[in-house]
Amino acid sequence: MRIALEAAQAAAERGETPVGAVVVDPASGETIAVAANGPIGLSDPTAHAEILALRAAAARLGNYRLTGLTLVVTLEPCAMCAGAISHARIGRLVFGAEDPKGGAVLHGPRFFDQPTCHWRPQVAGGVLAAESAELLRGFFRARRAR
């Protein structure tokens, strides 16, 4: 999660919403991919940290199925990202702050609980949640003050 938080901070410094994601191989402890939010800089509404990390991991491994890997992200994934996590067959999802407005794991559609969801990762939320949430709050507080 610390690596994801560093990526999130880098996103904030570029003016992107501070969300970071890391794909890790729990068997070896190897970091496969690191990414941060990039919709503004990439002019791509799908360039959420999770999507970018999944793309980078799949490209590095030469396989779109990331079975057995862990995705660590600083914020509860949205519905789009939850769908991508399911399609990638991520084995475990670890996230920091909950997102009552836009989250889709514990909130909103609860994507992985839907009968149409064909792959459900193990989920652990709340890891370094206070730090993740404060990074987001500080970012938006500064933007409102402008």
For the chain, first and last CA: distance in Å?
30
Label residue 140 left, alpha or beta by phi (over 0 means left) and psi (-120 to 50 means alpha): alpha
Whether 81 has a binding-site annotation, put simply, is yes
Whether 16 is a known active-site residue: answer no
Helix H or strand E encompassing 24: strand 20-25
Task: State the catalytic residue, choosing from 13, 16, 30, 50.
Answer: 50
* DSSP bridge partners of 20: 36
Would you say 116 and 84 are in contact if contact means Cβ atoms under 8 Å apart? no
118 is in an annotated binding site: no
Bridge partners, 123 (sequence order): 93
User: Measured between alpha carbons, how far is 36 from 10 in angstroms, rounded to an integer?
Assistant: 8
Q: How much is the CA Rg of the chain, to the nearest whole Å? A: 14
117 marked as binding residue: no
Binding residues: 48, 78, 81
Binding residues for Zn(2+): 48, 78, 81
Catalytic residues: 50
